Chains A and B, each alone.
Chain A
């Protein structure tokens, strides 16, 4: 129940990474920070289920993504059209976009199915190996790879403008 020093320090160090993961999953939003908060609290409470010396970051990311999915499930019950609703919400406000290209990329990322978005963030942004990503997502390594490849295809299409991500203006 008492987190070891390793966990304690690891938690603090992990906060920026957890936030980046959460924000990549659901945009810069109150939800992202709530996910991080929940993750820290849960990690503290179940610190005894973490084995010292194993990959703490992966353990924390697993908690966060589980929180994310339980949020989505809850939400799904409320709003049937999760895909549309979430996607619309994920797009960050135009004012926050550093430049148009990154803005488009965010929009495109937000429009991926969750499992593909998650996979590509874990491997492409957070730097986890396929094996670690598979562990975190609770799926096979082959599944990770196929999600990555589908995600790449869709992102590339959207970035090349075949599917206009969201022109916004009317």
Chain B
């Protein structure tokens, strides 16, 4: 029964007022959570993140070297690739 595969696509809740809060969380807490989250998520995204995506794309192009751009250096991407950093 736990096999419910109905991904809700949390990324896109439709704003068409879904006033029914989660039954466990309840309306009072639920609506505050939502408004806090909305406040945060509607903030303008700082440039650093778009820059980061740009850098990742650049470094990948350099890696692939598929453009004959002469893979000069993947070094311009300050991409800390180390998964082993946690210790």
- What residues of A have a CB within 8 angstroms of the CB of B4 in the complex? 129, 131
Interface size class of B (residues with CB under 8 A): 35 or more
1/0 per residue, CB under 8 A from A, across B4-48: the answer is 101111110100000001101110111011111111111101101
Taking beta carbons and an 8 Å cutoff, which residues of A are in contact with B?
A: 1-3, 8, 11-17, 19-20, 23-24, 28, 33, 36-37, 40-42, 44-46, 54-58, 70, 98, 101-102, 105-106, 109, 120-121, 123-129, 131-132, 141, 145, 148-149, 151-152, 155-156, 159
With contact pairs A45-B81, A57-B10, A126-B10 given, residues A102 and B36 touching in the complex (Cβ less than 8 Å): yes
Nearest Cβ distance between residue B2 and chain A, in whole angstroms?
7
| Cα-based distance from A141 to B1 in the complex (angstroms) | 12
Q: Which of B2, B22, B43, B79 contacts A123 (CB 8 A)?
A: B22
| Cα-based distance from A106 to B29 in the complex (angstroms) | 11
A33-B46 in contact (CB<8A): yes
A24-B83 in contact (CB<8A): no
Q: Which of A98, A125, A129 contacts B37 (CB 8 A)?
A: A125
| Cα-based distance from A41 to B9 in the complex (angstroms) | 23
Interface residues of chain B: helix, strand, loop or mixed (majority): helix
| Cα-based distance from A59 to B38 in the complex (angstroms) | 21
Q: Which of A16, A98, A132 contacts B10 (CB 8 A)?
A: A132
B52-A37 in contact (CB<8A): yes
B33-A124 in contact (CB<8A): yes
B46-A58 in contact (CB<8A): no
The 4 closest A-B pairs by CB, nearest first: A125-B37, A20-B41, A20-B40, A124-B33
- What residues of A have a CB within 8 angstroms of the CB of B24 in the complex? 123, 145, 148-149, 152
| Cα-based distance from A120 to B32 in the complex (angstroms) | 11
- What residues of B have a CB within 8 angstroms of the CB of A106 in the complex? 36
A120-B29 in contact (CB<8A): yes
A23-B60 in contact (CB<8A): no
- What residues of A have a CB within 8 angstroms of the CB of B84 in the complex? none
With contact pairs A44-B56, A55-B7, A152-B26 given, residues A19 and B40 touching in the complex (Cβ less than 8 Å): yes
